[in-house]
Amino acid sequence: MIGAGVASVLAFLGRVPWQVWAGIALILAVSLSYCHGKGVGEREERAEWIAKLEKAEADAEAKAKEAAQSADEQQQQRADEFEAEQESLREIIDDAESIGANPLDALIGGLW
């Protein structure tokens, strides 16, 4: 029974003209070629995006380091200014104490 079915299918396929088989083969080849090309294109595009993202990440990291360096420099400058101000206030207090004056009066006078 199964053998008869297979035989009739093979007989039918044998009666199909070669042009139909050529058309089917052509359609199959074009489809495979399209799918392969599309896959390659998607991989290339994905690689381009990954490269762009990696570059953007590296740029962002460089800018963050630069900003941190700038912030450190500004913080150091403020610390130096604060230290200089503290030193001048210490000098005012020491001068006031050396002449026997009230340091608070000297500070208030020194600040104005």
pLDDT at 97 over 60: yes
Residue 5 covered by a domain: no
Residue 4 covered by a domain: no
Q: Are the beta carbons of 96 and 102 closer than 8 angstroms?
A: yes
Residue 23: domain span: 17-111
Residue 59 covered by a domain: yes
User: pLDDT band at 3, cuts 50/70/90?
Assistant: confident
What total of structural domains would you count in the chain? 1
Give the predicted TM-score (pTM) of the model.
0.45
Residue 6 covered by a domain: no
Percent of residues, the chain, with pLDDT higher than 90: 25
Residue 10 covered by a domain: no
In three-state form (DSSP H/G/I as H, E/B as E, the rest C), the secondary structure along 30-97 is HHHHHHHHHHHHHHHHHHHHHHHHHHHHHHHHHHHHHHHHHHHHHHHHHHHHHHHHHHHHHHHHHHHH
In this predicted model, what pLDDT tens digit does every residue of 42-72 receive, in sequence order? Answer: 888 889 999 999 999 999 999 998 988 888 8
